[in-house]
């Protein structure tokens, strides 16, 4: 495999290690790839002959399918491995799984794992490129990138933008990738939720904390609303989902009280009537489906760049349509 | 001089209890220190030239996991006792967190006998406080002490039931032994795998808050104060915990405390990059906590340095951070790490470090040792304070390599250890 020529390392394990310039390059590279998905024949030969393993230790629909489309539209050969029914379920350790994959001479691994640090762990141990598709509560860099791309599409510039992440920040890898990425690009970032779901010391990252969603709405240009995982209620972090909706739900009346119109993002999957009301999710300021569309383009950009593609050639790369 | 006598000639003799710190000879005979003085007669004795060395009471480790029975792939009592001797320890307390646990006369006797067979550092068994370490019923303190236990502890586990802990502290007064406790509110510590703070927040790892220790120590101090019994705090990690112990001692409460080398020189920031080799329990905390521990060590609030030597098989740490087990090996680096980072950088002086490694732990246990005066057990360590060396995990005597200090360049090294006047370890010339 050719070494990267685009100023990236071997892997994408998070947005925290990236520079603002590297993040901008990924976003810029995603732009020309957006168009490929609008074609009748959605395929270019950029990754022809490359083998990619999608290694998903946790269930995932959206992210896995999005990666798979990105890989297939770049003509890579892909294999999907899920945790259930695989060697993982039979007690194989992560390091053994990694060594076995490596022995099959693959080019890239897209990994989703329940443990924070799992992607970096794998990246240190195999020469293949590793892309983090979510590790525990640590990072989900491609989700952060697609959220930022969606914000940039709408606002034109990230610098000075006020973005508030609402909900279960404590357990959220999406929140962390958004915080790292947005701060690097000069946005102002806040988090909002009950203190039970806000991790300690987060202010030290340069993030404002709101405990009242009304205050967050008044402050923000955009809200990124996190899914409240139903098991958190069992963990005692919130008393009931009903009360969570009452106190923290993003509702139309709350948005109408805001001094400006807010852009509404949600990484999905949504719990309608819990963290977000349907009329907000389906409303005119929601870009939730645009996030999904952008997800494929961002992932194509990441795959292309890690495989050694030059950012300024992305436009021409996509034009080599394969027949 | 009698058979097997040894004369350690011309070293810098540091004996914190007698206050000696000068160039002297030390003679060992019949298992005890025969004499400490100038120009001692060497007739019939093996002479050891210590002119470039420090001669001190050998170290005593209040807290080690020797993994036998049940974890012999990590360490055995014999390999652990040799590793300890190489680190200058004449005695180590073996925690009862074995499999099966060490909580009755037979299991205590096994550890004691295996320690004697090892013929290296003395191995002092510590028995569980509660049967099976389950925190429900007291073990037979009298029986396990008769079998050779020196103290009682439920190892790394906090005794959740305050009522049971009260009974344990009260009952132990019959035998005048300390209850060694892990001062931690177990519910609050929860499933935390590192210190709860900005680093755990960034890494997305569940945190163990410092206040879990504050609450645990406050509870155990209150019980010691009420009962008049002896409570020892294992592995103190927070500045607030040190404060509580300092205040308790000032009131005359019979508490003692230990701290590990890793908590004295590392912080939660050193876990960055998901460093499983620095995953320890209780976790590495903040810089302010580390400074508080150093102050406590310097002013005597902390009585002892204890290694919490916890061997792990090489592949156990090859896992994601949350899945990897806690623990680091510690015998062979304890002195050198603290000499390099604390003594040479001016946080404490050499005499204090030696006191906290020898006389301090002897006082906690109420045992002989930790001094160089005539008639004391001939447990002596020779230290080269100038040797510079790099920690290579693969060349240690422990069966496990999970050091937190791999690759560190250190200054000062233990080069010889005597137990009962017998040389149990000597560094071979480089």
Report residue A295 CA to chain centroid gap. Answer: 8
Same domain, B286 and B269: yes
Per CB-CB distance under 8 Å, the chain B contacts of A138 are 203-205
Domain boundary among B336, B365, B394: B365
A79-117 per-position pLDDT tens digit: 998 877 666 666 678 888 888 888 999 999 999 999 999
**Overall number of domains in chain B:** 2
Which residue in the list B308, B315, B323, B392 is annotated as catalytic? B308
A167 touches A228 (CB < 8 A) = yes
Same domain, B126 and B175: yes
For residue A319, pLDDT beyond 70: no
Same domain, B276 and B322: yes
Chain A nearest CA to B109, separation (Å):
37
Q: Is residue B23 part of a domain?
A: yes
In terms of DSSP bridges, do strands B409-419 and B380-390 run parallel, antiparallel, or are they unpaired? antiparallel
- Range B54-81 average pLDDT: 97
CA distance B390 to B405: 9
User: pTM for the whole thing?
Assistant: 0.94
Between chains, do A201 and B198 touch, taking CB under 8 Å as contact?
Answer: yes
pLDDT of res. A257:
94
Per CB-CB distance under 8 Å, the chain B contacts of A202 are 198, 201
Q: Is residue B144 part of a domain?
A: yes
pLDDT of res. B393:
87
B331 touches B307 (CB < 8 A) = yes
DSSP state of B144: H
Same domain, B194 and B338: yes
Chain B nearest CA to A201, separation (Å):
4
Q: Is residue B107 part of a domain?
A: yes
pLDDT of res. A85:
61
Q: Tell me which residues of chain A have a C-beta less than 8 Å from any C-beta of chain B.
A: 16, 93-95, 113, 115-118, 120-121, 135-139, 173, 176, 199-202, 204-205
Same domain, B389 and B280: no
- Range A3-25 average pLDDT: 84
Q: Structure tokens of B313?
A: 């098989």
Does any CB of chain A come closer than 8 Å to the CB of residue B267? no
By C-alpha distance, the chain A residue nearest B272 is A117
Residue with tokens 């599409």: A153
Q: Which of A155, A122, A146, A7 is nearest to A55 (CA)?
A: A122
Q: Is residue B370 part of a domain?
A: no
CA distance B245 to B216: 12
Q: Is residue B78 part of a domain?
A: yes
Between chains, do B204 and A116 touch, taking CB under 8 Å as contact?
Answer: yes
Between chains, do B319 and A137 touch, taking CB under 8 Å as contact?
Answer: no
Averaged confidence pLDDT in chain B: 96
Same domain, B114 and B255: yes
Chain B nearest CA to A122, separation (Å):
9
Q: Count of H helices and E strands in chain A?
A: 13, 9
pLDDT band at A322 (very low <50, low <70, confident <90, very high): very low
Phi and psi dihedrals of A8, rounded to 5? -100, 160
pLDDT band at A1 (very low <50, low <70, confident <90, very high): very low
In terms of DSSP bridges, do strands B46-49 and B6-15 run parallel, antiparallel, or are they unpaired? parallel
Per CB-CB distance under 8 Å, the chain A contacts of B286 are none
Active site residue B281: no
Out of B66-75, B150-159, B200-209, least confident range: B150-159
pLDDT band at A148 (very low <50, low <70, confident <90, very high): very high
Range of the domain at B23: 6-55+377-426
Chain A nearest CA to B33, separation (Å):
53
Between chains, do B319 and A94 touch, taking CB under 8 Å as contact?
Answer: yes
Measured CA distances, B339 to A217, B12, B345 (Å): 55, 16, 9
Higher pLDDT, B200 or B428: B200
Q: Spell out the long-range contacts of A69-73 with Cβ–Cβ below 8 A and sequence spacing 24 or more.
A: A69/A37, A69/A296, A70/A296, A70/A297, A70/A299, A70/A300, A70/A303, A71/A47, A71/A299, A71/A303, A72/A43, A73/A36, A73/A37, A73/A42, A73/A43, A73/A44, A73/A296, A73/A300
pLDDT of res. B395:
79
In DSSP terms, which residues pair with A162 in a beta bridge?
Answer: A188
Best of A180, A201, A205 to disrupt the B interface by mutation (most B CBs within 10 Å)? A201
Q: Is residue B372 part of a domain?
A: no
Measured CA distances, B17 to A217, B12, B372 (Å): 66, 15, 8
B199-217 per-position pLDDT tens digit: 999 999 999 999 999 999 9
Best of A116, A122, A174, A231 to disrupt the B interface by mutation (most B CBs within 10 Å)? A116
A161 touches A219 (CB < 8 A) = no
Domain boundary among B341, B365, B389: B365
Q: How many CB atoms lie within 10 A of CB A68?
A: 18
Same domain, B279 and B313: yes
CATH number of the domain residue B189 falls in: 3.20.20.140
Between chains, do A138 and B203 touch, taking CB under 8 Å as contact?
Answer: yes
Does any CB of chain A come closer than 8 Å to the CB of residue B288? no
Same domain, B156 and B233: yes
For residue A2, pLDDT beyond 50: no
CA distance B202 to B206: 11
A93 touches A320 (CB < 8 A) = no
Q: Is residue B403 part of a domain?
A: yes
A25-55 per-position pLDDT tens digit: 999 999 999 988 888 988 899 999 999 999 9
Domain boundary among B365, B391, B411: B365
Per CB-CB distance under 8 Å, the chain A contacts of B201 are 199-202, 205
Same domain, B312 and B403: no
Per CB-CB distance under 8 Å, the chain A contacts of B209 are 200
B225-241 per-position pLDDT tens digit: 999 999 999 999 999 99
Does any CB of chain A come closer than 8 Å to the CB of residue B272? no
Same domain, B186 and B335: yes
Between chains, do B274 and A116 touch, taking CB under 8 Å as contact?
Answer: yes
pLDDT of res. B163:
97
Rounded (5°) CA angle B421-B427-B430: 155
Q: Is residue B1 part of a domain?
A: no
CA distance A82 to A57: 6
Q: How large a percentage of chain A has pLDDT more than 90?
A: 78
Residues 6+ apart with CB under 8 A from B106: B147
Q: Is cis: bond before A278, omega within 30 of 0?
A: no
CATH number of the domain residue B381 falls in: 2.30.40.10
A148 touches A181 (CB < 8 A) = yes
Same domain, B246 and B310: yes
Which run of H or E residues covers position B24? strand B20-29
Same domain, B133 and B252: yes
pLDDT of res. A99:
85
Between chains, do A136 and B205 touch, taking CB under 8 Å as contact?
Answer: yes
């Amino acid at each position: 495999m050719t070494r990267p020529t685009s100023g990236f390392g071997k892997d994408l394990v998070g947005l925290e290690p990236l520079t603002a310039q590297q993040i901008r390059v990924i976003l810029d590279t995603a732009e020309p790839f957006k168009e490929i998905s609008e074609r009748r024949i959605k395929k270019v030969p950029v990754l022809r002959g490359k083998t990619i393993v999608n290694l998903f230790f946790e269930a995932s629909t959206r992210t896995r399918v999005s990666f798979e489309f990105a890989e297939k539209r770049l003509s890579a050969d892909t294999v999907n491995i899920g945790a259930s029914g695989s060697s993982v379920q039979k007690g194989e350790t992560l390091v053994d799984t990694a060594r076995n994959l490596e022995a099959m001479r693959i080019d890239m691994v897209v990994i989703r794992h329940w443990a924070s640090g799992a992607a970096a762990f794998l990246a240190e141990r195999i020469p293949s490129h590793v892309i983090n598709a979510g590790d525990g509560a640590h990072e989900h860099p491609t989700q952060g990138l697609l959220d930022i791309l969606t914000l940039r599409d709408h606002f034109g510039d990230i610098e000075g933008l006020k973005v508030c992440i609402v909900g279960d920040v404590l357990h959220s890898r999406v929140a962390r990738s958004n915080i790292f990425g947005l701060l690097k690009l000069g946005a102002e970032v806040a988090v909002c939720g009950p203190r039970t779901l806000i991790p300690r010391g987060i202010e030290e990252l340069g993030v404002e904390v709101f405990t009242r969603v009304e205050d967050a709405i008044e402050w923000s240009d955009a809200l990124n609303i996190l899914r409240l995982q139903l098991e958190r209620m069992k963990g005692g972090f919130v008393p009931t989902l009903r009360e969570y909706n009452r106190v923290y739900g993003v509702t139309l009346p709350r948005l109408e009280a805001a001094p400006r119109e807010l852009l509404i993002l949600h990484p999905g999957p949504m719990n309608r009537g819990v963290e977000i009301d349907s009329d907000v999710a389906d409303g005119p300021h929601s870009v939730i489906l645009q996030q999904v569309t952008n997800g494929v383009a961002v992932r194509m950009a990441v795959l292309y760049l890690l495989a050694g593609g030059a950012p300024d050639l992305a436009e021409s790369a996509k034009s080599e349509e394969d027949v | 001089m009698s058979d097997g006598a040894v004369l350690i000639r011309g070293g810098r003799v540091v004996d914190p209890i007698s206050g000696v710190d000068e160039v002297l000879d030390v003679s060992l005979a019949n298992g005890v220190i025969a004499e400490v003085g100038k120009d001692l007669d060497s007739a019939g004795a093996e002479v050891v030239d210590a002119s470039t060395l420090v001669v001190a009471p050998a170290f005593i480790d209040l807290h080690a996991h020797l993994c036998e029975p049940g974890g012999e792939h990590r360490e055995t009592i014999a390999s652990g006792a040799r590793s300890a001797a190489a680190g200058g320890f004449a005695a180590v307390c073996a925690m009862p967190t074995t499999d099966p646990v060490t909580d009755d006369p037979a299991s205590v006797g096994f550890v004691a006998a295996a320690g004697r067979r090892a013929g290296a550092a003395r191995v002092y068994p510590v028995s569980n406080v509660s049967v099976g370490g389950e925190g429900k019923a007291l073990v037979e303190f009298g029986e396990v002490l008769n079998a050779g236990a020196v103290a009682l502890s439920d190892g790394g586990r906090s005794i959740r039931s305050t009522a049971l802990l009260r009974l344990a502290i009260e009952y132990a007064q019959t035998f005048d032994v300390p209850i060694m406790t892990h001062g931690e509110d177990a519910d609050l510590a929860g499933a935390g795998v590192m210190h709860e703070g900005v680093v755990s927040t960034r890494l997305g790892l569940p945190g163990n808050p410092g206040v879990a220790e504050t609450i645990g120590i406050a509870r155990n101090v209150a019980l010691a104060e009420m009962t008049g019994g002896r409570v020892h705090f294992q592995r103190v990690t927070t500045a607030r915990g040190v404060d509580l112990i300092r205040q308790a001692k000032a009131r005359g409460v019979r508490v003692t405390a230990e701290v590990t080398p890793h908590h004295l020189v590392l912080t939660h920031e050193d876990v960055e990059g998901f460093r499983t080799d620095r995953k320890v329990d209780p976790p590495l905390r903040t810089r302010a906590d580390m400074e508080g521990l150093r102050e406590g060590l310097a002013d005597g609030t902390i009585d002892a340095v204890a290694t919490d030597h916890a061997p792990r098989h090489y592949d156990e740490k090859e896992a994601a951070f949350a899945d990897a087990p806690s623990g680091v090996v510690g015998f062979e680096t304890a002195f050198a790490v603290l000499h390099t980072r604390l003594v040479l950088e001016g946080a404490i002086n050499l005499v204090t470090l030696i006191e906290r490694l020898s006389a301090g732990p002897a006082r906690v246990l109420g045992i002989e040792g930790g001094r160089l005066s005539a008639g004391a057990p001939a447990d002596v360590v020779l230290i080269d304070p100038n040797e510079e060396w790099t920690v290579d995990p693969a060349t240690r005597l422990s069966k496990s390599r999970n050091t937190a200090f791999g690759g560190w360049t250190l200054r000062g090294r233990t080069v010889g250890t005597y137990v009962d006047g017998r040389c149990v370890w000597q560094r071979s010339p480089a």
